[in-house]
Amino acid sequence: MLALPLLAGAGAAAQDPPAKPHAPALGSEEGGLRALCDREEAKLLQSPLLVRDPALTAYVQAVCCRLAGPLCPEVRVHILRTPYFNASMAPNGMMQVWTGLLLRCADEAQLATILGHEIAHYHLRHGLDQLRDAKSRSAFATLALMVPIAGPLASLGAVAGGFAYSRDHERAADAEGLERLAEAGYPAGEAPRVWSNLLEELKAEGGGDAAKRSRLFATHPPETERQRALEAAAARMAGADRDPGRAAFRAAIAPFRMGWMEDELKRRRYGESVALLTRLCGEDPQDGLARYFLGEACRLRDGDGDAERARRAYGEALELPGAPPEVHRALGRLHRRAGRMPEMRAAYARYLALRPDAEDAEMIKTYLKETP
């Protein structure tokens, strides 16, 4: 039975974390840890993966500030273009948010769920606790000495998050994160959904224990337990009718979604991508962009019936707003395979009209000249 000490209502012995010294002595453990993180942050600022978009960064920073309250000045948001679900906050205030997480959130409340959880780890100084644990210390030292921040993806999260937290830490961060979510005026009911969506996606790929394949699940409480605890806690909180901030969130990420969906397919976990894109299409049936990429994910998965699924998704995307010109190219490709030359020519001509400077325009022009 999971106890949520910070949410158990009146009489709960919520343990206050010690007041945060603003400049720990460099010789202290905390000082050393912060110096190490500062060095990693300097490297991060040079990374080609850093999304250098002031508007998007400011938007995520503002969500963090809403959640962090008085800690707001200590949080520095860095968005990294990498197609995995992850966010982490280092003990020096460096918050990394990966674009794979932004792609997967339906609204601001879901993003705030993850950010609030990470801010809670920071506030409760779990990174320092972990450092005091001898096992993590050796792991961390190895990591700090050997791993460039934009190097192997796994280490990105590991350096920033310090390393995997213990389950107790995760439970405490879940609880405090949820409180922060509610205090910031978000509906708490979105929180459990974030985790269930991710688990569903991981299960879609099959093979092994899905929950073990994401760093965010590695030591987190078992999913069903976490789910139940979060749902129960959220149910006790007011504000189910609050605005989850869908419009603002969608507006902030709109200019980037196409690139992020392309990145998603490059992970080559097509089962997971089909699950994710199916969900995105369900969340917004008018989303032509997600529909086109669902077609692409099916085409690339190339399993039984996937060619037909792809064709259907492209066809549906054509009728929807937001479908990219590439949907015509995809249809042209299918028609050419099947020898339907007039249809092929019409589709490719449409693509070239919309994307006259396409990188593959020269190749496609040769297809237009082909005769059956």
Which of 9, 11, 18, 48 is close enough to bind other proteins by CB under 8 A?
Answer: 48
Task: Establish if 366 lies at the interface with other proteins (CB under 8 A).
Answer: yes
C-beta of 2 vs 49, nearer to other proteins:
49
Q: Does 152 bind other proteins (CB under 8 A)?
A: yes
Interacting residue with other proteins among 151, 185, 222, 282 (CB under 8 A) = 151
CB 220 within 8 A of CB 175: no
Let me know if 322 is exposed, middle or buried by CB neighbors in 10 A (0-12, 13-18, 19+): middle
Query: Contact region for other proteins (CB under 8 A) — 15-23, 45-53, 194-202, 227-235?
Result: 45-53
The smaller minimum CB distance to other proteins, of residues 304 and 362, is found at 362
CB of 354 to other proteins, least distance (A): 17
Q: Cα angle at 65 between 148 and 122, to 5 degrees? A: 50
Please state, in angstroms and rounded to a whole number, the distance separating the CA atoms of residues 65 and 158: 24
Name the token pair of 49. Answer: 């993966």
What is the DSSP code (8-state) at residue 369? T
- Say whether residue 268 binds other proteins (CB under 8 A): yes
248 CB-contact burial (10 Å; exposed 0-12 / middle 13-18 / buried 19+): middle
User: In this complex, which beta carbon is closest to other proteins, that of residue 102 or of residue 234?
Assistant: 102
Which residue in 63, 79, 336, 348 binds other proteins (CB under 8 A)?
Answer: 336
Size of the site for other proteins (CB under 8 A): 18
Nearer to other proteins, 172 or 313 (CB): 313
The dihedral built from the CA positions of residue 323, 329, 335 and 338, taken in this order, carries a sign that is: negative
Q: Does 303 bind other proteins (CB under 8 A)?
A: no
Long-range contacts at 306-313 (CB < 8 A, ≥ 24 apart): 310/334
List contacts with other proteins (CB under 8 A).
47-49, 148, 150-153, 266, 268, 333, 336-337, 359-360, 362-363, 366
